[in-house]
């Protein structure tokens, strides 16, 4: 790797501004469709994987060129020195995303497989370096996956409850709501606890990637000493005491058990308790951020109950003067049942379902 590294951090649609804010701490970010491109110094690949909470995957930009012919493209790919990333004889995985006429995958694949040999079969899943070739708008871009397992897999959520949020979406949602770990937090519909655990990790200044492995650790050029130092600095920077309180509550005792075990595995402190989010709430010690993803009603029989639940929760917000509120609701009528006026709304997608993150103040 050279002194300047350019990576592409991919994220779920709508989270780009949140990811861009996180990326500013690592280098020069630029929002592009589906993520953020970051230019930074040596070690950017390591730091991006270790610190980005909102990214789903980080890939290293190997080359970007104007499009010529398929043969010229194959020659350019063959000229890339992959020895820093690949052990001798190690098969590559190759994904081709081509939207350019004249560059269909069936024509490109045999040319590129020859140029990059050995390449694992297109439908096979190996452990070798994974290359992604993207051809669009007259350019081609070759990127190398640096993450391996998606970054949402932090390693703590071995159990989910009903409809758990992806960890990266939970972190992005907190960022969009302006949360940085410096104030009290509460999720009154916590389910398996993802939002509260991500909030507690931010409050503790815990790096999201500190307890998992990454694809870049298998590269021949991987600098083990620098990586060990980076992990040590991240661990030493964690706040051991004095973090603002983080709470999670739910009506369902089973979900709370799951949340408690997930938090234990994540090594974070969360105050879990059983509570009906629509019931009168006498008040929290200090105001902060309340963030939840409300039930979406995907299950048969649940849908009819939801307008009532949303209205009752909207009324319960009056018990929380001073609190800021961020709720993820499905796009459409249901969110209006809260009868609460948000100051901002962000369009997101949760497991393919279009939804809105509404952000505002509790005392309306």
Ligand X SMILES: C[S@@+](CC[C@H](N)C(=O)[O-])C[C@H]1O[C@@H](n2cnc3c(N)ncnc32)[C@H](O)[C@@H]1O
- Among 82-90, 113-121, 203-211, 244-252, which window interacts with ligand X (CB under 6 A)? 244-252
For residue 269, give the nearest of 336, 215, 197, 214 by alpha carbon: 197
DSSP-derived 3-state class of residue 134: strand
157-160 LR contacts (CB < 8 Å, sep 24+):
157/192, 157/194, 157/197, 157/262, 157/265, 157/266, 158/261, 158/262, 158/265, 159/192, 159/258, 159/261, 159/262, 160/192, 160/258
Q: Using only C-alpha atoms, what is the Rg of the chain?
A: 23
> Which one among 293, 324, 340, 360 touches ligand X, defined by CB under 6 A?
293
Number of residues located near ligand X, criterion CB under 6 A: 21
Q: Which two tokens stand for residue 17?
A: 């501004």
> Which one among 29, 128, 184, 295 touches ligand X, defined by CB under 6 A?
295
Site for ligand X in 71-110 (CB under 6 A): none
Tell the smallest beta-carbon distance from residue 186 to ligand X (Å).
Answer: 12
139 vs 299, beta carbon nearer ligand X: 299
Q: Nearest-CB residue to ligand X?
A: 191
Burial track 129-162 (b if 16+ CB lie within 10 A, e otherwise): bbbbbbbeeeebbbbbbbbbeebbbbebbeeebe
The residues that bridge with 95 in the sheet, in sequence order, are 132
Contact yes or no for 218/126 (Cβ under 8 A): no
Site for ligand X in 200-239 (CB under 6 A): none
Site for ligand X in 134-193 (CB under 6 A): 161-165, 188-189, 191-192
What is the pattern of x (binds ligand X, CB under 6 A) and - over residues 305-344? ----x-----------------------------------
d(CA 103, CA 94): 15
189 vs 323, beta carbon nearer ligand X: 189
How many beta carbons lie within 10 A of that of residue 191, not counting itself?
24
Based on the shown chain and the rule CB under 6 A, indicate whether residue 54 belongs to the binding site for ligand X: no
Sign of CA dihedral 238, 214, 60, 220: positive
Site for ligand X in 248-267 (CB under 6 A): 250-252, 255
197 vs 203, beta carbon nearer ligand X: 197
d(CA 252, CA 244): 25
What is the pattern of x (binds ligand X, CB under 6 A) and - over residues 273-292? ---xxx--------------
Tell the smallest beta-carbon distance from residue 249 to ligand X (Å).
Answer: 7
Tell the smallest beta-carbon distance from residue 297 to ligand X (Å).
Answer: 9
Q: Which residues bind ligand X (CB under 6 A)?
A: 161-165, 188-189, 191-192, 194-195, 250-252, 255, 276-278, 293, 295, 309
């Amino acid at each position: 790797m050279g002194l300047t590294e350019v990576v592409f951090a991919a994220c779920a649609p709508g989270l780009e501004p949140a990811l861009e804010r996180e990326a500013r701490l690592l280098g020069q970010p630029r929002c592009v469709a589906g993520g953020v491109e970051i230019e930074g110094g040596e070690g950017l690949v390591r730091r991006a994987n270790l610190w980005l909470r909102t990214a789903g995957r980080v890939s290293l930009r190997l080359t970007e060129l104007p499009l010529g012919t398929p043969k010229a493209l194959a020659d350019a790919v063959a000229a890339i020195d992959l020895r820093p990333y690949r052990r001798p004889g190690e098969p590559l995985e190759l994904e081709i995303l081509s939207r350019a006429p004249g560059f269909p995958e069936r024509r490109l694949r045999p040319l590129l497989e020859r140029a990059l040999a050995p390449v694992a079969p297109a439908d096979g899943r190996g452990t070798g370096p994974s290359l992604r070739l993207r051809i669009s708008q007259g350019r081609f871009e070759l990127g190398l996956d640096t993450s391996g397992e998606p970054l949402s897999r932090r390693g703590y959520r071995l159990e989910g409850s009903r409809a758990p949020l992806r960890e990266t979406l939970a972190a992005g949602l907190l960022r969009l709501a302006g949360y940085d770990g410096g104030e009290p937090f509460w999720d009154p519909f916590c389910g398996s606890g993802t939002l509260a655990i991500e909030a507690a990790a931010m409050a503790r200044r815990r790096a999201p990637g500190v307890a998992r492995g990454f694809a870049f650790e298998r590269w021949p050029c991987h600098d083990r000493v620098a990586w060990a130092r980076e992990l040590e600095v991240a661990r030493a920077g964690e706040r051991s005491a004095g973090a603002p309180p983080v709470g999670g509550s739910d009506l369902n005792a089973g979900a709370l058990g799951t949340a408690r075990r997930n938090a234990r595995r994540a090594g974070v402190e969360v105050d879990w308790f059983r509570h009906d989010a629509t019931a009168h709430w006498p008040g929290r010690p200090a105001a902060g951020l309340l963030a939840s993803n409300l039930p979406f009603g995907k299950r048969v029989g649940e849908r009819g109950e939801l307008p009532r639940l949303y209205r009752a929760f909207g009324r319960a917000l009056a018990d929380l003067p001073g609190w800021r509120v961020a709720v993820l609701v499905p796009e459409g009528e249901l969110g209006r049942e809260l009868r609460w006026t948000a100051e901002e709304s962000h369009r997101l997608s949760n497991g393919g379902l279009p939804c809105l993150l509404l952000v505002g103040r509790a005392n309306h």
